[in-house]
Chain A
Amino acid sequence: MSGFFHPLWLIALAVIPLIRWLHRWHAPLSSWPVSAVFLWGYTTSNESAGHRKDEPEPAWRRRALAAALLITALAGPYLSTETRTLSVWIDDSLSAFAIENGNSRIAMMFESLTEELDSNDVPWDQITLRSLTKPGKARPYGGADSFHPVDWRDAMETNLDENAMPILTTDSNHWLLTDGASAETQTWAARVYLGRIIQAGTATENAAITRLAARRSVEDAKTFDVLISVANTGVATDERRVTLYSGEEQLQTTRLSLAPGQTTHWQVRAAATNGSLTASLSSTDPLVDDDDLSISLARFEPLATRIEATCGPALWRALSAHPSLAIVDATRTAALAVSCSQDGFAEAGSSEARIRTLLGSARPVSSPPAWFASSGSGNNLGLAVDWISATQWPPRQPGDRHDVLLATTDQPLVVVHAGESGSSTIIDTVIDLNHPRFIQQAEYAAFIAALVDIATGRTLLDEAVTVSREARHSVIAPTLLDTRVRPSKPVHQVTYKPLSTLFLAVAFLLLLFDAVVLLRARMGASHA
């Protein structure tokens, strides 16, 4: 098919008669005296009438053609080709991987799609398979042998988001392969125009571990308090065995009765010796991918901390007493460094978190220190004015940006250089951390622990590690969707091939030819 992007330009073709009319006034290039003019043809003749000629100069056709080509080029001619394309949206959410009768739902969906396409007499030019959880993921349809469920399994970790469902293009036909279990898919399918919905899967019962959380026990630092949540997303009461593993080692097990649609929690204290904790559910439901959760215990390992010897014994003792810190010597890599210097703050060259203090003559502060909002856990810590003395801040470096955490009315006492991209957080303080009255207070250790938390960005004294999944994503009970074939709209993907350049090129060549003809005629006349 062909057409024009801007057909109104074609109105300008009306100038072509004007071009012809103007060429009636064109004076001939050369004039020759002859002995008998009557011997020459009469077809283009006109007896003497000045420059005016009834018949236009023959070159008007060439120039009119060039003008027509230019105008046509401005009108934007194009050739269009129509392609019937089909986008098949695959609901590759977690429930699509439920196994029924030895086959996954997603494989069943694809078998149905293949049968449907084989029985469909529509000659699709292009069929594309698209992920509903990751709309950017697309695979060309290559027949029954080309589909492998494992190719779509990576989308399992991405849950459907109602606000991120794809917007369907209008230049393609759209089908949906789904098990009908996802509420987001149901809502989306009701909102968009789908030519065909292919649904597979009938199982309804499923239970899933939806949360695994662990924290160090208060009574015994070597044991963990563990919380396991189990949700029954089916429609019937179920009873399942839940087992807690540390690595391969089974720690504890229990049997839980699960009410439909309810979540049951199991709290247990366990002494983990391996690097991970895994909660596993006895697998009797079609969907096994949501039957266990694991957490790594590496998060509970003491944080390697390096402290300079110049910092004094009080600070060293406070850091050593911190249960989540492990003091290492200066040669080892540390996640946290504490430095104390005389003249100014030490350079922060490494990527580790750093607490920097100043040594030297400190003076008592004039007012009680007050915490600022960004100081995190330090907010609850009250510091008396007679405990605190501070040295003078060294001159600021140009471009130095920081947030004040603790300050008196006269000066800031603790500032944080917020970790920018690629750099760690640095805490600077001018408080004398060897003040005799301050180091005797219980708040001293708490103050140091607060600085450590701010520097590391963690709550080291009571850290909890949690992994979870939403129970609604483990629902596999399908809702019956309208799978009737809808009248397909005559949707084509139209590809336009603009021809303006071609027209411009031909017009240019024509004008060039005209110029050459004109030049040759003038040169021939002048030579004669």
Chain B
Amino acid sequence: MTDDAIIEEPELQRFARLAAPYLQRAATGGHDPRAARDRPGSGLEFLDLRDYQVGDDMRHIDWRQTARRQRPVVRRFRSEAAVDWFICVDGSASVGLHPAKWAMSIRLASALAYTCLFAGHRVALLIFSDRIKARCDLGRGAHQYPRLLNLLLAQQADAPPTAGNGRTSLMTPSHLKTLPVNRSNPGLCRDYLSGNSNVFIISDFLQPDGMRSQLRSIQSIVSSTAILQVLAEDEVDIAATGLTQLRDVESGRERQVNLSDQIKSDARTALRTHRNDLHKDCLSLGIRMTSCESGQHWQPALLEHLRIRL
């Protein structure tokens, strides 16, 4: 499965040259006019003052200004480091249910990592489901990409329990009752993020709330957040007809539906509505979001994402 997810390096290089200019804008959310180096971060050169916020380093409190303004004020320093990218990849069962989705996620993550490294940024990788399944710390340079790639290829998305080889297999109700509850939770990545980092989350976001609360939590502590929704082409296509028991591979919730053309059409509509609603909410949160399908080519999908302006 993972072999077809590997992108040849020359192709990655060509893409990196094309996409690198868009990375800076992506890192600042696309609306910060300052250069990357003018962004606040860890460094020695003073940048500006601002009110203290929870989580700020106590050592950076400017006591003189605090006394003058009668409220805690911290000093910010011009960032001397390169931009840090945290690529968070959803490896939950809902992705594993459709192998093409996982392959597409690997391609997007590896291409993005390569592009970031090509631009001299530091890149970290987190693979999450209901836990952090794998992690690669921040790093830069030529040695970082193989590490990231090996980590991606070594991981598998959580596989849904199957009675055969199919991604949608016939299962008896007894099988279904033993399905594990395996909710995808990107909020777990929050513990590994730092304030000046940029987060790129690749997931299907197929949860009733679209993982909005976790995204909001991450967005509150990072410099920028971007999400790329990967959906399978046959996300809601089921070959069965008649009365069928459906079970969510992550939540374990069951639903009995009488599968008809109308019901299937309604499910496709619900998927579109879910994606559009998520897109609107991301816009309001200042989160860059695009969607792609597993059958698409990764390159235009990723380029479109990087080009987008908020």
One of A40-48, A281-289, A389-397 at the interface:
A40-48
Given contacts A37-B254, A38-B248, A46-B256, contact A57 B243 (CB under 8 A): yes
Residue-wise interface mask of B (245-287) relative to A, using a CB-CB cutoff of 8 A (1 in contact, 0 not): 1111111111111100001001100110010000000000000
Tell whether, in the assembled complex, residue A528 and residue B240 are in contact, meaning their CB atoms are under 8 Å apart. yes
Q: What A residues does B241 contact at CB under 8 A?
A: 520-521, 524
Interface membership of B206, Cβ < 8 A: yes
Contact with B along A26-44 (1 / 0, CB 8 A): 1111111111111111101
Interface centre among A28, A39, A525 (most CB of B within 10 A): A39
Contact of A44 among B166, B172, B258 (CB under 8 A): B258
Q: A38-B208, A517-B242 are in contact. Are A31 and B258 (CB under 8 A)?
A: no
* Shortest Cβ-Cβ A-B pairs, 5 listed: A35-B94, A37-B248, A36-B206, A48-B254, A31-B245
Chain A residues closer than 8 Å to B256, beta-carbon distance: 28, 44-46, 53, 55
Bound-complex Cα distance A37 to B252 (A): 9
| Interface stretch (choices B123-131, B189-197, B231-239) | B231-239
A361 CB–B CB distance under 8 Å: no
Which residues in B have their C-beta under 8 angstroms from that of A28?
Answer: 173, 243-245, 256
> Shortest beta-carbon distance, B298 to chain A, in Å?
20
Specify the chain A residue showing the minimal Cβ separation from B167.
A33
> Does residue A489 face the partner (Cβ distance < 8 Å to B)?
no
Known: A30-B242, A37-B255. 9 other contacts (CB 8 A): A33-B162, A34-B168, A35-B248, A39-B271, A521-B240, A521-B242, A525-B170, A528-B166, A528-B169
**Chain B residues with CB under 8 A of A526:** 170
Bound form: Cα–Cα A39–B250 in Å: 14
Which of A30, A46, A51 has the largest number of chain B CB atoms within 10 A?
A30
Please report whether the interface of chain A is mostly helix, strand, loop or mixed according to DSSP. Answer: loop
Interface string of A47-70 (1 = CB under 8 A from B): 110110101011100000000000
A31 near B171 with CB under 8 A, answer yes
A188 to B252, CA, bound (A): 90
Q: Could you tell me the distance in whole angstroms from the C-beta of A226 to the nearest C-beta in chain B? A: 101
Identity of the chain A residue whose Cβ is nearest the Cβ of B207 in the assembled complex: A36
Q: Who on chain A is nearest to B98 by CB?
A: A35
Measured between alpha carbons, how far is A31 from B164 in the docked complex, in Å?
Answer: 13
What residues of B have a CB within 8 angstroms of the CB of A34 in the complex?
A: 97, 168, 236, 238, 246-249
Contacts of A53 in B (CB 8 A): 256
Q: How far is the CA of A32 from the CA of B241 in the complex (A)?
A: 11
The residue on A at minimum CB distance from B160 is A33
Distance (whole angstroms) from the CB of A49 to the closest CB of chain B:
8
Q: List 8 A-B contacts (CB under 8 A).
A: A28-B243, A28-B244, A29-B244, A32-B245, A35-B249, A38-B253, A39-B270, A58-B258
Beyond A31-B173, A35-B206, whether A47 also contacts B253 by CB under 8 A is yes
How distant is B207 from chain A, measured CB to nearest CB, in Å?
A: 7
Instruction: From the candidates B95, B170, B235, B248, name the one contacting A528 in the complex (CB within 8 A).
Output: B170
A40: contacting residue among B166, B179, B267, CB under 8 A: B267
A47/B168 in contact, CB under 8 A: no
Report B168-185 CB contacts with A as 1/0, cut-off 8 Å: 111111011101000000
Q: Interface size for chain B: under 10, 10 to 19, 20 to 34, or 35 or more residues?
A: 35 or more
Minimum Cβ distance to chain A for residue B274 (Å): 7
- C-alpha spacing A50/B238, complex, angstroms: 22
Q: Are B240 and A30 in contact (CB under 8 A)?
A: yes
Asked if B204 is at the interface (CB within 8 A of a chain A CB), the reply is: yes
Contact (Cβ within 8 A) B255 A32: no
Q: When chains A and B are docked, how far (Å) is the Cα of A44 from the Cα of B270?
A: 16
- What's the least CB distance linking B68 to chain A, in Å? 54
With A28-B256, A31-B172 known as contacts, the answer to whether A37 contacts B246 (CB < 8 A) is: yes
Establish whether residues B236 and A524, one from each chain, have CB atoms under 8 Å apart when the complex forms: no
Bound state CA distance, A135 and B231, in angstroms? 91
Give the residue of B171, B239, B242, B258 whose beta carbon is less than 8 angstroms from that of A33.
Answer: B171
| B99 nearest CB across to chain A (Å) | 12
Chain A residue at minimal CB-CB distance from B92: A35
CB neighbours (8 Å) of A27 from chain B are: 173, 245
Contacts of B254 in A (CB 8 A): 37, 47-48
| CB contact under 8 A between A41 and B267, given known A28-B256, A35-B94, A526-B170 | yes
Residue ID in chain A nearest B163 by CB atoms? A31
- CA gap between A83 and B127 in the complex, in Å: 88
- Shortest Cβ distance from residue B233 to the other chain A in the assembled complex, whole angstroms: 13
Complex Cα–Cα for A363 and B238 (A): 116
The smallest C-beta distance from B287 to any residue of chain A, in angstroms, reads 20
Min CB distance B264 to A, Å, is 9
Contact (Cβ within 8 A) A48 B257: no
Question: CA of A46 to CA of B256 in the docked complex: distance in angstroms?
Answer: 7
Interface-central residue, A31, A47, A524, by most chain B CB under 10 Å: A31
Q: Which residues of B contact A517 (CB under 8 A)?
A: 242
Within 8 A of B (CB), among A398-457: none
Q: Are B238 and A37 in contact (CB under 8 A)?
A: no
Q: B244 touching A31 by the CB < 8 A rule? A: yes
Enumerate A6-41 residues with CB–CB distance to B below 8 Å: 26-41
Q: Closest chain A residue to B254 by CB distance?
A: A48
Q: A35 and B253: CB pair below 8 A?
A: no
Residues of A within 8 A of B235 (CB): 35-36
Return B108 CB to nearest CB of chain A, in Å. 18
Residue of chain A at shortest CB distance from B247: A33
Q: Which residue of A lies closest to B97 (CB)?
A: A35
Nearest CB on A from B172, distance (A)? 7
Q: How far is the CA of A30 from the CA of B208 in the complex (A)?
A: 24
- Bound: A48/B246 CA distance, A: 10
